[in-house]
């Protein structure tokens, strides 16, 4: 093994350390404090929304949105199948049922035609997943949701900085949830956010994310001693002020980080587009891709597992893409969704992060070219 290129790498440094130091000096390290409030304002503006709520992760942001929409046990929510199971889990946390539907073969997001066919009298909403960051078909989904009186929620875990027909991810549905996990385009290691133009929805979610009462900062500086009372079941879904301080720096850096990821994606396309054994990811003209991951599809006659092992042996980090949710045992027996199931078996994520050096990109491309041409990876 001549070198080691990780699958992903967070782009953090002295600016983020300085921001953490300021939080330490302030004495407010816990959740929902001054840094969180500042981050929420800045992130909402960057995502084209009027309000935001900092949360512990994307899954809790999805859950809070659904609670604020009024979800209850027995309801059904239509979910794009090709996603990390946090999407489906967030529906089940409220006692509702995720109804998984198949996806577009080109960009892997929920197929609007399949959504229409899955609606029943128990359907209350739709969760569209921006798979690896590229936005789903929100005009079509909005029309379906409006026609049937459903809410529409964007799972934008990977899509901070993406756009759809000139509009930023986060402004495309009734609400949107984002992730700041370590492999995302902007990161605090963990964390998430809920954004929406609906002030009542954000207000209700804010109450629920602090055990069902207003956050402590709302009582700071009062002349009396207010004692809140609990009238609604809530959760501890808060982001810490340490994470929020990191995220404030990351949001400022977002345009440059996106530019660097696009450079990597362009280089991969330049070096790999002629390779018959793989299919490169599609980037549609009416939306911008933030390239949270760079995911290739191996040809039907190629052993994906053998490719992955060979890449790792030569120092190239890789992994499968994401999950076909409907085949996961937790969700029980489900009708087969062939597009999602097929891609679940054939996707490989290869190294993608801001600052990935051109010679490392070339090494990944050359190694991948050698590996897929080898007889050892043919079925």
Q: Where are the domains positioned within the chain?
A: 14-251, 254-377
d(CA 218, CA 23): 18
Predicted confidence at residue 1, as pLDDT, reads: 57
Q: If you average pLDDT over residues 349-370, what whole number do you get?
A: 97
The closest alpha carbon to 102, from 348, 341, 345, belongs to 341
Q: If you average pLDDT over residues 299-317, what whole number do you get?
A: 97
Predicted confidence at residue 54, as pLDDT, reads: 98
**pLDDT at residue 83 is higher than 80:** yes
Interior angle at CA 80, CA 263 and CA 74, nearest 5: 150
Predicted confidence at residue 287, as pLDDT, reads: 97
d(CA 55, CA 206): 9
**pLDDT at residue 376 is higher than 90:** no
**pLDDT at residue 216 is higher than 90:** no
Could you give the residue numbers annotated as active site?
Answer: 184
* 2 confidence band (pLDDT: 50, 70, 90): confident
Mean pLDDT of the residues in the chain: 96
- Both tokens of 3, joined, read 């070198």
- Both tokens of 232, joined, read 């609604």
Structural contact between residues 350 and 298, judged by C-beta atoms closer than 8 angstroms: no
**pLDDT at residue 114 is higher than 90:** yes
Percent of the chain with pLDDT over 90: 93
Predicted confidence at residue 219, as pLDDT, reads: 85
C-alpha distances in Å from residue 8, one per residue of 5, 185, 265, 372: 8, 10, 14, 22
The closest alpha carbon to 208, from 31, 373, 325, 68, belongs to 68
Predicted confidence at residue 263, as pLDDT, reads: 98
Domain 14-251 belongs to what topology? Answer: 3.40.640
d(CA 355, CA 25): 31
Predicted confidence at residue 283, as pLDDT, reads: 96
Q: If you average pLDDT over residues 20-29, what whole number do you get?
A: 95
Domain 254-377 belongs to what topology? Answer: 3.90.1150
- Both tokens of 147, joined, read 């026609």
C-alpha distances in Å from residue 370, one per residue of 229, 364, 373: 65, 10, 5
How many other CB atoms sit within 10 Å of the CB of residue 69? 23
Q: At 202, is the secondary structure helix, strand, or coil? A: helix
Q: If you average pLDDT over residues 197-206, what whole number do you get?
A: 98
- Both tokens of 338, joined, read 């062939």
């Amino acid at each position: 093994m001549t070198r080691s290129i990780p699958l992903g790498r967070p782009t953090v440094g002295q600016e983020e350390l300085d921001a953490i130091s300021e939080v330490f000096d302030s004495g407010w390290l816990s959740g929902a404090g001054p840094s969180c409030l500042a981050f929420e304002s800045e992130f909402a503006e960057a995502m084209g929304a009027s309000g935001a709520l900092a949360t512990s992760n994307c899954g809790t942001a999805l859950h809070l949105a659904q609670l604020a929409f009024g979800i209850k046990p027995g309801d059904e929510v239509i979910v794009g199948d090709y996603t990390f199971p946090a999407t489906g889990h967030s529906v089940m946390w409220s006692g509702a049922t995720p109804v998984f539907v198949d996806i577009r073969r080109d960009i892997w997001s929920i197929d609007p035609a399949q959504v229409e066919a899955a609606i029943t009298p128990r359907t209350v909403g739709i969760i569209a997943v921006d798979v690896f960051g590229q936005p789903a078909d929100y005009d079509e989904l909005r029309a379906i949701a409006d026609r049937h009186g459903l809410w529409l929620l964007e799972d934008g875990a990977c899509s901070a900085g993406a756009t759809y027909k000139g509009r930023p991810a986060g402004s495309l549905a009734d609400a949107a949830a984002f992730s700041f996990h370590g492999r995302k385009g902007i990161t605090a290691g963990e964390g998430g956010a809920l954004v929406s133009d609906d002030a009542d929805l954000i207000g209700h979610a804010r109450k629920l994310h602090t055990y069902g009462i207003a956050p402590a900062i709302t009582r700071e500086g009062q002349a009396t001693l207010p004692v809140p009372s609990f009238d609604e079941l809530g959760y501890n879904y808060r982001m810490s002020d340490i994470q929020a301080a990191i995220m404030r720096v990351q949001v400022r850096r977002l345009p440059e980080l996106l530019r660097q990821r696009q450079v990597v994606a362009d280089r991969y396309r330049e070096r790999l587009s002629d390779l018959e054994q793989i299919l490169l990811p599609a980037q549609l003209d009416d939306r911008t891709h933030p390239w949270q991951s760079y995911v290739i599809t191996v040809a039907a006659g190629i052993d994906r597992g053998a490719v992955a092992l060979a890449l790792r042996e030569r120092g190239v980090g890789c992994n499968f893409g994401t999950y076909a949710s409907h085949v996961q045992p937790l969700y029980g027996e489900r009708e087969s969704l062939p597009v999602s199931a097929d891609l679940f078996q054939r996707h490989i994520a290869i190294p993608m992060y801001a600052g990935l050096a051109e010679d490392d990109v070339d090494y990944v491309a050359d190694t991948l070219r050698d590996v897929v041409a080898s007889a050892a990876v043919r079925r």
